[in-house]
């Protein structure tokens, strides 16, 4: 068990784990504050001004979020986060559409919030096809080809689920092309867009998706609030709810709405949309600087995932690298003042190597020696310089230790 950490211990630490979560932007906090105090009503209370005020705030936020992703306000269903949204999308389709078929398609590199519900369905008699990805060291490593989906669809296929942007290697999948295939075959398409919304342009109509999961805490908003886009026209997607008790959110997700969180979600996404062009360029430059610095100072540094030169294939703030002969967990533990990760935060308690890197055909040594850097809004060139120095020194130190001769017996 890790010892408790004080706020002072966090001061001065360079944070590069923005795929796990992000710091809430002060402008988002400011927008949320009134809904913890003066405007604390329940949005479902229809008989007084406190409830009316809360409902208007929710309605306005819903309109703003819908506009940002090209949806209609009634197509945005608020949840507790992307994990719940993924479960509602997958479980909701399976529950409502199983009379048409019991076959689902996804990808081996999906987040556990998709893979685990699919496995649960498999145990309950559904069939699941997991598509392989392009192998390393191909420049497109981690991507799938749209024709793989076309070939996997069967007469009894009811759902395809393909992550828009991967949380470990930042790979962007060709979801728009896949969407057109699914539309032509009459199969619903879900995408986990948790890492994409607010970072790259996302439009549900251009992508031709029927369901899309995303969340606030990856885009400098609060934790505990997410959304599921559910198409209501051509086709009108119907889901079996997984949380009952009140009929909130068009009957799809019961529970008192998190009004401060919803307001913060909308503000966070609004800021991302306003700042996206300049921020994407800035983060890509910082990311490339970090990679070139690590590669220059650390022999046997390997890039994991698609080429950095293809912005249409990779998130601008993502870098995943492996260092031969070094354990990533040990590396992070030996570096003071740097917060990064060895993979998905949701699976950090599991000891096995990253399933994403293994799916790329990367060996266990390099998989265990990998680090994931997620650069974000509050990172600076000075942060990058510190990370280059701290990581290169730690790698050199660990490699020297591992090469020491055994002590005499």
Active site residues: 346
Q: Give the E-state strand segments of 262-317 in sequence order.
A: 301-303
CB 289 within 8 A of CB 379: no
Exposure string of 271-286, with b = 16+ CB inside 10 Å and e = fewer, is bbbeeeeebbebbbeb
Instruction: Read off φ and ψ for residue 371, nearest 5 degrees.
Output: -130, 140
DSSP 253: S
Q: How far apart are CA 214 and CA 113, in angstroms?
A: 12
Cβ contacts of 148 within 8 Å, gap of 6 or more: 131, 132
DSSP 120: H
Q: How far apart are CA 21 and CA 216, in angstroms?
A: 9
* Rounded CA Rg of the chain: 22
For strand 157-161 and strand 103-107, is the pairing parallel, antiparallel, or unpaired? parallel
* Among the listed residues 395, 234, 204, the one whose alpha carbon sits nearest the alpha carbon of residue 300: 395
What tokens appear for 126 in the block?
A: 């559904």
Which residue matches tokens 């949005």?
43
CA atoms within 13 A on the CB side of 408: 0
Cβ contacts of 384 within 8 Å, gap of 6 or more: 286, 289, 290, 293, 375
| Element housing 268 (H / E) | helix 259-297
CB 257 within 8 A of CB 106: no
Q: How far apart are CA 267 and CA 245, in angstroms?
A: 29
């Amino acid at each position: 068990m890790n010892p408790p950490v004080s706020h002072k211990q966090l001061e001065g630490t360079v944070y590069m784990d923005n795929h796990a979560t992000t710091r809430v932007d002060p402008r988002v906090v400011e927008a949320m504050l009134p809904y913890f105090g003066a405007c604390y009503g329940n949005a479902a209370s229809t008989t007084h001004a406190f409830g009316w005020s809360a409902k208007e705030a929710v309605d306005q936020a819903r309109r703003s979020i819908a506009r940002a992703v090209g949806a209609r306000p009634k197509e945005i269903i608020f949840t507790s986060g992307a994990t719940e949204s993924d479960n509602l999308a997958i479980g909701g389709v399976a529950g409502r559409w199983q009379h048409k078929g019991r076959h689902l398609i996804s990808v081996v590199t999906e987040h556990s919030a998709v893979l685990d519900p699919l496995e649960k369905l498999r145990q309950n008699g559904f069939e699941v096809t997991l598509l392989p990805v392009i192998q390393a060291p191909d420049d497109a490593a981690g991507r799938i080809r749209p024709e793989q989906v076309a070939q996997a669809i069967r007469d009894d296929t009811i759902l395809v689920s393909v992550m828009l942007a991967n949380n470990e290697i930042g790979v962007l999948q060709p979801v728009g092309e896949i969407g057109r295939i699914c539309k032509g075959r009459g199969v619903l398409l879900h995408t986990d867009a948790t890492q994409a919304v607010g970072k790259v342009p996302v439009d549900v109509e251009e992508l031709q998706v029927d369901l899309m999961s995303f969340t606030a805490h990856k885009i400098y908003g609060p934790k505990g609030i997410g959304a599921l886009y559910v198409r209501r026209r051509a086709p009108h997607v119907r889901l079996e709810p997984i949380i009952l008790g009140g009929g909130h959110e068009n009957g799809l997700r019961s529970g008192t709405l998190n009004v401060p969180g919803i307001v913060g979600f909308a503000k966070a996404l609004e800021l991302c949309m306003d700042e996206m062009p300049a921020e994407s360029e800035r983060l890509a430059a910082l990311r490339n600087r970090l990679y070139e610095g690590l590669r220059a100072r650390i022999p046997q540094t390997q890039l994991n995932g698609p080429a950095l030169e293809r912005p249409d294939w990779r998130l601008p703030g993502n870098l995943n690298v492996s260092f031969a002969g070094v354990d990533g967990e040990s590396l992070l533990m030996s570096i003071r003042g740097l917060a990064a990760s060895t993979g998905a935060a949701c699976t950090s308690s599991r000891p096995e190597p990253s399933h994403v890197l293994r799916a790329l055909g990367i060996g266990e040594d390099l998989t265990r020696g990998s680090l994931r850097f997620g650069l974000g809004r509050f990172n600076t060139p000075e942060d990058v310089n510190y990370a280059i120095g701290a990581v290169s020194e730690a790698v050199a130190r660990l490699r020297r230790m591992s090469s020491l001769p055994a002590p005499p017996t």
